[in-house]
Amino acid sequence: MNTQERNRNPYQHIDWKKQIRVTGCTHVHCSTRKEFIHAMESGLEFATFANYYPSAPYYPASSIRENTFKLGQPSYVRNGEVVHERLDIRKLYAEWGEDQSQLPTSEGELLFPPAPASFLEAPNAEHHFFSDYNVYLHITCPGSFFASGNYNRNRRSVLAQHGIHVGTQMPWRKAFDAMLEALMIPDGGGIVINHPHWSHLPHQFLCELLDYDPRVLGLEVINANCGKEGTAAAESQWDEVLGTGRQCYGFCVQDHMNLNEKLQGRCILLPEERTAESCLQAYRQGRFYGALKGEGLEFESVEFDGRTLRVRCDKEAIILLLSHRGVLVELWTGRELIYTVPDSDRSKDVFLRVTALDQASGEKLFTQPFMLV
């Protein structure tokens, strides 16, 4: 287990005047040419695609073909154990004496068009069907090569009959270990708890997940694709966890794409360099803020010296300062919020975080939390 705790003051030492910004999304499904083009046109700069069936990284994107995962994947889970070798489906079908006539004979054409020269990417997938929790626990792990499940959603498929099931079919702790062991770099990336509101994840279970390893980074505060079900936002669950004194980063994501509108959930990363590795390190360090749209409003700076918090936007906005006790400050039109924590309130407030809303564009921003105790 990694014992380095999550960063309790995420924006320390950032020079905001020189800071580069990279738009990422830890949970967005992209498995077609149209979706890939749409993601690029929507401004996605750092891709960690979170596909499933199978839950295997579409990485690098330039290597994925129409039938890649119908023929195999780099590694897999069989009977609850990780197999660190290529899954060759045609070969296994031959060994099992199964009919291969429905399998493709070749990988086919490249799935995605060439990406822009500035395109950054890292492995990721969405993992689900844990053997010791209900089907609604879904997890992404940006930066991890871990692969689970198979391409065939039919749980009675030939593969499932031979122990290669849909989903992980592993206890969540064992699966978490496998995800973290397969990280692209040891000091970057980590686990994100998907759509906790939609998944009806209890408070105590969220705390248990976060306590398992500090590389369990946080939860999705906004999952835009859950909007139609009224479960897009999980701010109340986020605040409830933060109120226990646990640092928990908040992620904004799109999930499934809507080709008729731009990506509606993004993480604005603040890496030291414009590289995939530095972006993964930014996720680990909490050097990012959440955004609904990624346009229309920006944080010019977010600074906290342990006592005074200063947040400045690039235009006038509605700015709210929140803590364990609720809303502490409401600035209904302004560009800057300054707040000094009274010594007597540190234990009462537990944490501080800020949201900013531009009514004209509909953009809403979310800082990462600052832990006071």
| Residue in the block written with tokens 């400045």 | 312
Phi and psi at 181, nearest 5°, equal -65, -20
For residue 252, the enclosing domain spans: 22-295
The predicted pLDDT at position 50 comes to 98
* Same-domain status, 223 and 263: yes
Q: pTM value?
A: 0.97
Low-confidence ranges of the chain (pLDDT < 50): 1
pLDDT tens, position by position, 105-162 = 999 999 999 999 999 999 999 999 999 998 899 999 999 999 999 999 887 899 999 9
**Helix, strand, or coil here: 102?**
coil
The predicted pLDDT at position 112 comes to 98
Asked which of 235, 270, 295 is the last residue of a domain, the reply is 295
3 part of a folded domain: no
Compute CA distances 112 → 11, 34, 35, 61, whole Å.
Answer: 35, 8, 9, 7
Asked which of 272, 295, 318 is the last residue of a domain, the reply is 295
* Same-domain status, 338 and 259: no
What residue type is assigned to position 350 of the chain? V
* Same-domain status, 259 and 304: no
- Tally the domains of the chain: 2
| Angstrom distance (rounded) from CA 309 to CA 321 | 10
113 part of a folded domain: yes
CATH code, domain with 358: 2.60.40.10
Asked which of 295, 314, 332 is the last residue of a domain, the reply is 295
6 part of a folded domain: no
The predicted pLDDT at position 4 comes to 75
Residue 351 near residue 243, CB atoms below 8 Å: yes
* Same-domain status, 290 and 301: no
The predicted pLDDT at position 2 comes to 52
Q: At CA 149, angle to CA 86 and CA 101, rounded to 5? A: 70
* Same-domain status, 261 and 306: no
